[in-house]
Structure 1
Amino acid sequence: MVVTMDLNVSPVPEGDEDNSEGYVEEYSAAGERSESAVETARREREERRKRLRNEYSDDRPVNVSRQPVHDQFFPSKHYKSYDKSKLPPGWLDCPAFGQEINCIVPSKVPLGEAYNDCIPPGKRYSFKQVIHQQRVLGRKLGLVIDLTNTTRYYSTADLKKEGIKHVKIYCKGRDAVPENTAVNTFVYEVMQFLLRQKHTKKYILVHCTHGHNRTGYMIAHYLMRSQPMSVTQAIEIFAEARPPGIYKPDYIDALYSFYHERKPKTVVCPPTPEWKRSSEFDLNGEAVPDDDDDDGGSATSVHGNHEMAVIMTNDDVLGDEIPNDQLDALRQFCYQALKLNGRGNSQFPGSHPVSLSRDNLQLLRQRYYYATWKADGTRYMMLITVDGCFLIDRNFKFRRVQMRFPCRYTNEGPADKMHHFTLLDGEMIIDTMPDSQKQERRYLIYDMMAVNQVSVIERPFHERWKMLEKEVIEPRNSERQNIYQSRNPNYRYDLEPFRVRRKDFWLLSTVTKVLKEFIPRLSHDADGLIFQGWDDPYVTRTHEGLLKWKYPEMNSVDFLFEVDDDDRQLLYLHERGKKKLMEGHRVSFKDAPDPSSYSGKIVECSWDSEERVWVCMRIRTDKSTPNDFNTYKKVMRSINDNITEDVLLNEIYEIICLPMYADRIRIESKAQQHANAARRK
Structure 2
Amino acid sequence: MIVAMDLNASPVPEEDDETFEGHIEEYSAPEERVETAVDIARREREERRRRLKRDRSDDRPMHASQPHVYDYQSYQTKTLKSYDKSRLPPGWLDCPAFGQEIAYIIPSKVPLSEAYNDSIPPGRRYSFKQVVHQQRVLGRKLGLVIDLTNTTRYYSTQDLKKDAIKHVKIQCKGRDSVPENSSVNQFVYEVLQFISRQQHSKKYILVHCTHGHNRTGYMIVHYLMRTRLMSVTEAIKTFAEARPPGIYKPDYIDALYTFYHERRPEMVVCPPTPEWKRSSDLDLNGEAVADDDDDGVPASPSHGPQESDVVMTNDDVLGDEIPWDQQDAFRRFCYQTLKLPVGARGITQFPGSHPVSLNRENLQLLRQRYYYATWKADGTRYMMLITMDGCYLIDRNFNFRRVQMRFPCKYTNEGLGERIHHFTLLDGEMIIDTLPESQKQERRYLIYDLMALNKESVIERPFYERWMMLEKEVIEPRKYDRSLFRDFYRYDLEPFRVRRKNFWYLPTVSKILKDFIPKLSHDADGLIFQGWDDPYVPRTHEGLLKWKYAELNSVDFLFEIGDDDRQLLFLYERGKKKLLEGNRVEFKGGSDPSFYVGKIIECSWDSEKQKWCCMRIRTDKSTPNDINTYKKVMRSIKDNITEDFLLQEIEEIICLPMYADRIQNDNKMIAAAKANLARRR
TM-score by length of 1: 0.89
Change (3 A) 1:19 1:480: closer
Aligned-pair distance for 1:341? 1.7
- 1:223 is aligned to 224
- 2:275 is aligned to 274
Contact persistence 1:410–1:475 (CA under 8 A): no
Matched, 1:546 2:559: no
Matched, 1:513 2:511: yes
Change (3 A) 1:304 1:541: closer
Matched, 1:55 2:79: yes
Aligned-pair distance for 1:158? 1.0
Change (3 A) 1:239 1:43: farther
Change (3 A) 1:348 1:42: farther
Give deviations 1:279-335, integer Å, cap 9, x for gaps.
Answer: 2227x9887741111135322464876635200000000000000000000001111
Matched, 1:184 2:185: yes
- 1:402 is aligned to 404
Aligned-pair distance for 1:370? 0.2
Change (3 A) 1:571 1:24: farther
Structure 2 counterparts to residues 499-648 of structure 1, below 5 A: 499-648=497-646
- 1:15 is aligned to none
Structure 2 counterparts to residues 38-187 of structure 1, below 5 A: 45=65, 47-48=71-72, 50=74, 55=79, 83-187=84-188
Matched, 1:35 2:35: no
Change (3 A) 1:653 1:418: same
Aligned-pair Cα RMSD in Å:
2.4
AA at the equivalent of 2:538? T
Change (3 A) 1:429 1:19: closer
Quote the Cα distance in structure 2 between the aligned partners of 1:471 and 1:642.
41
Which stretch of structure 1 is more off in the superposition, 32-41 or 472-481? 32-41
Aligned-pair distance for 1:340? 1.0
- 1:326 is aligned to 326
Change (3 A) 1:604 1:413: farther
SS of 1:55's equivalent in the other structure is coil
- 2:467 is aligned to 465
AA at the equivalent of 1:55? T
- 2:454 is aligned to 452
- 1:3 is aligned to none
Change (3 A) 1:477 1:556: same
Quote the Cα distance in structure 1 between the aligned partners of 2:76 and 2:132.
32
Q: How many correspondences in the alignment?
A: 632
Structure 2 counterparts to residues 220-259 of structure 1, below 5 A: 220-259=221-260
Quote the Cα distance in structure 1 between the aligned partners of 2:23 and 2:188.
33
- 1:74 is aligned to none
Contact persistence 1:415–1:479 (CA under 8 A): no
Quote the Cα distance in structure 1 between the aligned partners of 2:221 and 2:26.
25
Aligned-pair distance for 1:599? 0.4
AA at the equivalent of 1:112? S
TM-score by length of 2: 0.89
AA at the equivalent of 2:119? C
AA at the equivalent of 1:634? K
Change (3 A) 1:495 1:413: farther
SS of 2:139's equivalent in the other structure is coil
Change (3 A) 1:443 1:167: same
Change (3 A) 1:656 1:303: closer
Aligned-pair distance for 1:667? 2.1
AA at the equivalent of 2:352? G
Contact persistence 1:413–1:479 (CA under 8 A): no
Change (3 A) 1:53 1:124: closer
Contact persistence 2:528–2:544 (CA under 8 A): yes
Contact persistence 2:387–2:424 (CA under 8 A): yes
Contact persistence 2:150–2:294 (CA under 8 A): yes
- 1:291 is aligned to 291
Change (3 A) 1:19 1:39: closer
- 2:352 is aligned to 350
SS of 1:95's equivalent in the other structure is coil
Which stretch of structure 1 is more off in the superposition, 298-307 or 463-472? 298-307
Change (3 A) 1:224 1:41: farther
Quote the Cα distance in structure 1 between the aligned partners of 2:140 and 2:399.
38
Contact persistence 2:45–2:71 (CA under 8 A): no
Contact persistence 1:322–1:398 (CA under 8 A): yes
Quote the Cα distance in structure 1 between the aligned partners of 2:633 and 2:561.
25
Contact persistence 1:406–1:415 (CA under 8 A): no
AA at the equivalent of 2:205? I
Quote the Cα distance in structure 1 between the aligned partners of 2:147 and 2:520.
51
Aligned-pair distance for 1:50? 4.9
SS of 1:35's equivalent in the other structure is helix
Aligned-pair distance for 1:175? 2.5
Quote the Cα distance in structure 1 between the aligned partners of 2:417 and 2:439.
35
Give deviations 1:376-411, integer Å, cap 9, x for gaps.
Answer: 000000000000000000000000000010001268
Give deviations 1:205-233, integer Å, cap 9, x for gaps.
Answer: 00000000000000000001011110011
- 1:338 is aligned to 338
- 2:480 is aligned to 478
Which stretch of structure 1 is more off in the superposition, 303-312 or 364-373? 303-312
Quote the Cα distance in structure 2 between the aligned partners of 1:478 and 1:612.
55
Quote the Cα distance in structure 2 between the aligned partners of 1:509 and 1:217.
55
Which stretch of structure 1 is more off in the superposition, 284-293 or 571-580? 284-293
Give deviations 1:92-150, integer Å, cap 9, x for gaps.
Answer: 11111111101100000001111110110111111101011111111100000000000
SS of 1:383's equivalent in the other structure is strand
Change (3 A) 1:308 1:476: closer
SS of 1:185's equivalent in the other structure is helix
AA at the equivalent of 1:424? L
Aligned-pair distance for 1:413? 11
Contact persistence 1:527–1:554 (CA under 8 A): yes
Aligned-pair distance for 1:243? 0.4
Quote the Cα distance in structure 2 between the aligned partners of 1:513 and 1:651.
15
Quote the Cα distance in structure 2 between the aligned partners of 1:674 and 1:641.
42
- Percent identity of the aligned residues? 73
Structure 2 counterparts to residues 430-449 of structure 1, below 5 A: 430-449=432-451
Quote the Cα distance in structure 1 between the aligned partners of 2:87 and 2:220.
28
Quote the Cα distance in structure 2 between the aligned partners of 1:411 and 1:363.
44
Quote the Cα distance in structure 1 between the aligned partners of 2:357 and 2:303.
49
Aligned-pair distance for 1:592? 4.3
- 1:13 is aligned to none
Which stretch of structure 1 is more off in the superposition, 186-195 or 341-350? 341-350
Aligned-pair distance for 1:652? 0.3
Aligned-pair distance for 1:567? 2.3
Change (3 A) 1:301 1:263: farther
Q: Which runs of 5+ in 1 are unaligned?
A: 1-17, 57-61, 65-81
Quote the Cα distance in structure 2 between the aligned partners of 1:477 and 1:610.
51
SS of 2:91's equivalent in the other structure is coil
Quote the Cα distance in structure 2 between the aligned partners of 1:378 and 1:196.
37
Aligned-pair distance for 1:239? 0.5
Change (3 A) 1:252 1:39: farther
Q: Flag the structure with more relative contact order, 1 or 2, with Cα contacts below 8 A and sequence separation at least 6.
A: 1
Quote the Cα distance in structure 1 between the aligned partners of 2:41 and 2:621.
64
Contact persistence 2:571–2:627 (CA under 8 A): yes
Quote the Cα distance in structure 2 between the aligned partners of 1:276 and 1:546.
64
Contact persistence 1:24–1:137 (CA under 8 A): no
SS of 2:485's equivalent in the other structure is helix
- 1:9 is aligned to none
AA at the equivalent of 1:187? V
